[in-house]
Structure 1
């Protein structure tokens, strides 16, 4: 019996030693792994940005090549990047070993404006003005001119322009404020087909849908210019009549485009 007890003690001691050596080996491997390049960020890919530069997004993320791949949560980086005013949403994905992909969705570009200094800026749908650094960028959206920085209708206009299809919006070359006592949000738009359009920011989403049809109706009548008033009614008035007579609106030509807009403010 004493011999059996001694064998059991040796067996238990061997298992403890084996466990200790295994734990030491795993710890050593962990230390070597976290000190190796495999645990570091080797590549950061940024996609979806047009208004912001990759450098701006990378700086906002708070991570860079060489940082610990496991030392941060994707949600934390997303919250940091989301603080940028031009970013509407962001997604961060990790791919082992060492690859990070940051995909941003910016507020869409809806217009441009030109500063008094001549610098061009793009306007996003949230009203943010972003300097244009690419000299070859195509001005495929309206230019907003004559707007004060503090004009609340300018922000509302940017939000409204987002709702308009790109094809329709590309027909508008410039938009100016033209407020009256009746319509404080009245605007004047210039089309690329040589028409002028008066409407309001409030009416715009509905009225703009009729513009293409109305221009086509004028082309059928061999009329290639004039003023469209898209207010309670949709009316076409020749330039000389609109700007030459105070009562020009009364003598204007109503188009056949449907008009379901309710009377505004």
Structure 2
């Protein structure tokens, strides 16, 4: 009896070639989508806004950023744009936020003004805590002391600016004018007039140390003169026979305290 041979199944065709073809198609499709996306308006900056600037104008910040509507949204990186803005003299730090689609916001933090100056033609300048001096126009609100008599004393003025930057904001706002008043013992001695009608003789090197004493006298005493050097001395204007309108203390009494 003849035995029947079993029917052998034909091997199924390998599907690797099909998978490779599908992979190539998918890759081409993704590339096409990317090309279409980057050529569309969705990949561009549509709006740039700025906040936080007082001494640096919006136009200066935008120019420093190097970006404008129509530029690529994803390049350059936010940190790179912020680094450009931080090169502006008044800017202490900058943060750039990108919001898809197309919105870019630049927020700056500036060095605070600790004093003001006057140019020869009467223009007001803001003196920032980093020592930079910037013109701000004649209509600016002067809420910090005006520095007078510091021409030719740039190094001393920078030390004063550093000292002022360490003072509490409310105390700094009460100072109306600061002028150099050097002596042999205190080359950095200064004279301060306040908006609360006090006159203070102290030194730049002692200003931070004497800040709380100044505050305490202003808050609890009537207007008068203070000498805050090696020893502290306060005299109300009424005892000096003055009317309290910024009368200068006797140079013999204030100048020889040291």
Q: Does TM, normalized by the shorter one, top 0.5?
A: yes
How far apart are the structure 1 equivalents of 2:248 and 2:162?
34
The aligned counterpart of 2:230 is 232
1:126 aligns with 2:130: yes
Cα distance, 1:94–1:217 mapped onto 2, change above 3 Å:
closer
How far apart are the structure 2 equivalents of 1:251 and 1:200?
14
1:109 deviates by: 1.1
Contiguous gaps of at least 5 residues in structure 2: 1-6
1:142 aligns with 2:145: yes
1:216 deviates by: 4.9
Q: Secondary structure of the residue that 2:233 maps to in structure 1? A: strand
1:109 aligns with 2:113: yes
Q: Deviations over 1:94-119 (max 9, x none)?
A: 22111222221111111111111111
Which residue among 147, 155, 162 is the counterpart of 1:159? 162
State how 1:1-265 maps to structure 2 within 5 Å.
Answer: 4=10, 8=13, 11-133=15-137, 135=139, 137-148=140-151, 151-216=154-219, 218-219=221-222, 224-225=223-224, 227-237=225-235, 238=240, 242-243=249-250, 246=252, 248-249=253-254
How far apart are the structure 1 equivalents of 2:255 and 2:189?
19
The aligned counterpart of 1:255 is none
How far apart are the structure 1 equivalents of 2:231 and 2:214?
13
CA-atom RMSD in angstroms: 2.8
Return the TM-score normalized by structure 2. 0.83
1:123 deviates by: 0.9
1:22 deviates by: 1.9
Cα distance, 1:4–1:180 mapped onto 2, change above 3 Å:
farther
How far apart are the structure 2 equivalents of 1:204 and 1:249?
16
Q: Secondary structure of the residue that 2:80 maps to in structure 1? A: helix
How far apart are the structure 2 equivalents of 1:159 and 1:241?
26
Return the TM-score normalized by structure 1. 0.81
Cα distance, 1:72–1:149 mapped onto 2, change above 3 Å:
farther
Q: Secondary structure of the residue that 2:35 maps to in structure 1? A: helix
How far apart are the structure 2 equivalents of 1:24 and 1:188?
77
Q: Deviations over 1:212-250 (max 9, x none)?
A: 33245542xxxx44x32111111135368943x73x359
1:38 deviates by: 0.6
